[in-house]
Chain A
Amino acid sequence: DTEVTQTPKHLVMGMTNKKSLKCEQHMGHRAMYWYKQKAKKPPELMFVYSYEKLSINESVPSRFSPECPNSSLLNLHLHALQPEDSALYLCASSQEGLGQADTQYFGPGTRLTVL
């Protein structure tokens, strides 16, 4: 089973709202990732957690705040977003920790619209 789940599937929020995206995997994977994908573009890496520690932040604005409560869960807290942040937010996981050229498995994504 290579399932990564994400909630919610869709989210509409105003620029003053605070919301959170959730991601879960029960495959025992040690690395988890957040990506942002705009229409007709490839996914762009935002954050990487390896062994529950933040290993990579790709210069993401502070209005995006990741959290890894345990090895199976990954959250992305959103606050004061801009309309240009509207996108598909994808979570992924891979078996090995960061630094290994390993297969990543993606969740279905959360389609975010910021009004």
Chain B
Amino acid sequence: RKEVEQDPGPFNVPEGATVAFNCTYSNSASQSFFWYRQDCRKEPKLLMSVYSSGNEDGRFTAQLNRASQYISLLIRDSKLSDSATYLCVVTSSAADSWGKLQFGAGTQVVVTP
């Protein structure tokens, strides 16, 4: 089983609509959670960290459910520029993980006019 799993999509979203997707992680010792976005042939860019109480940054809302070991990302009022692959990233402070990033395979979002 992969440590971090995501629905690869693509999620085809009309402009202005809301889209949400989840990411599950298997290591209960995971401590830090992030969403990165990656445009085609570009580097991953930090979108937001995910905090236990959930957090919002403009049109983006991230949630963490430790009991069920998943995080979610919701995008409201989707823009064409939101089209990208969204990478779920998890780290663990366990000694054998040394804070290494564990990446999901990414969820592709395509916003259409």
Name A residues whose Cβ lies closer than 8 Å to a Cβ of B.
2, 41-43, 45, 48, 55-56, 88, 90, 96, 98-109, 111
Question: Is B16 an interface residue when CB atoms closer than 8 A count as contact?
Answer: no
- Contacting residues, chain A, for B45 (C-beta < 8 A): 106
CA distance A106 to B46 in the complex (A): 9
A103 to B49, CA, bound (A): 8
In chain A, what residue has the closest Cβ to B6? A42
Q: Report yes or no: A98 in contact with B98, Cβ–Cβ below 8 A.
A: yes
Supposing A42-B103, A101-B32, A102-B99 touch, asked if A108 and B42 sit within 8 A by C-beta, the answer is: yes
Q: Which B residues have a C-beta under 8 Å from some C-beta of A? A: 31-32, 34, 41-46, 49, 87, 91-93, 98-101, 103-106
**Cross-interface CB contact of A43 among B41, B44, B98, B99, cutoff 8 Å:** B44
Shortest C-beta distance, A12 to chain B (Å), equals: 16
What B residues does A41 contact at CB under 8 A?
Answer: 105
> Would you call the interface of chain B mostly helix, strand, loop, or mixed?
strand
Given contacts A88-B41, A98-B98, A111-B41, A103 and B46 within 8 Å (CB-CB): yes
Residues on B with C-beta less than 8 A from A90 are: 43-44
CA distance A5 to B45 in the complex (A): 13
What's the least CB distance linking A51 to chain B, in Å?
13
Q: How far is the CA of A78 from the CA of B103 in the complex (A)?
A: 25
Which of A42, A55, A102, A106 is within 8 Å of B105, CB to CB? A42
